[in-house]
């Protein structure tokens, strides 16, 4: 039996995926699921199991891959992480994340967002190590 998938992969699968995520950004920014006004006002989107599994982030550096609008990334800063970095390949998502960081008064030394494919992360990230990924 062949190990090749019977389903052909479109040559532009990555670009199609990225375009799809780009399209979602204005919907997610305006909608209630991400609730950005509530987030700005202090609502914590992190779930109890995430807080329990990641543990105390106080003073630590944290990298969040595929961070989307950055709400989870920034929440870790609110929980005390000294430095958070979010990475996503959707430029509009990263633009929203940077805007939220500014709204929260977190400068790039505390919360930085990078536009990159996750497969290129090792070359795109500003720091070579993180205590939590």
41-to-37, 38, 99, 103, 104 alpha-carbon distances in Å: 6, 5, 14, 10, 9
Q: Which is nearer to ligand SAM, 14 or 59 (CB)?
A: 14
> Which of 118, 127, 131, 133 forms a contact with ligand SAM (CB under 6 A)?
118
Q: Give CA 118 to chain center in angstroms.
A: 11
**Cα–Cα distance measured from residue 33 to residue 11, given in angstroms and rounded to the nearest whole number:** 32
Which of these ranges, 1-9, 63-71, 75-83, 96-104, lies near ligand SAM under the rule CB under 6 A? 63-71
CA neighbor of 83 nearest in space, from 103, 95, 99, 101: 101
Among 50, 66, 103, 127, binds ligand SAM (CB under 6 A): 66
Sole window of 54-62, 85-93, 99-107, 125-133 interacting with ligand SAM (rule: CB under 6 A): 85-93
Q: Which residues in this chain contact ligand SAM in the complex, by CB under 6 A? A: 17, 21, 66, 68-69, 71-72, 88-90, 93, 117-118
């Amino acid at each position: 039996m062949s190990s090749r998938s019977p389903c052909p992969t479109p040559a532009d699968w990555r670009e199609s995926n990225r375009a799809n995520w780009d399209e979602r950004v204005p919907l997610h920014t305006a909608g209630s699921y991400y609730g950005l006004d509530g987030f700005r006002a202090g609502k914590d989107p992190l779930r109890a199991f995430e807080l329990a599994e990641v543990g105390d982030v106080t003073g630590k550096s944290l990298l969040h891959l595929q961070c989307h609008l950055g709400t989870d990334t920034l929440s870790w800063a609110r929980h005390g992480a000294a430095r958070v970095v979010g990475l996503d390949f959707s430029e509009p998502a990263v633009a929203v994340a940077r805007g939220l960081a500014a709204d929260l008064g977190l400068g790039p030394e505390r919360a930085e967002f990078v536009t990159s494919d996750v497969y290129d992360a090792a070359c795109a990230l500003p720091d070579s190590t993180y205590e939590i990924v």
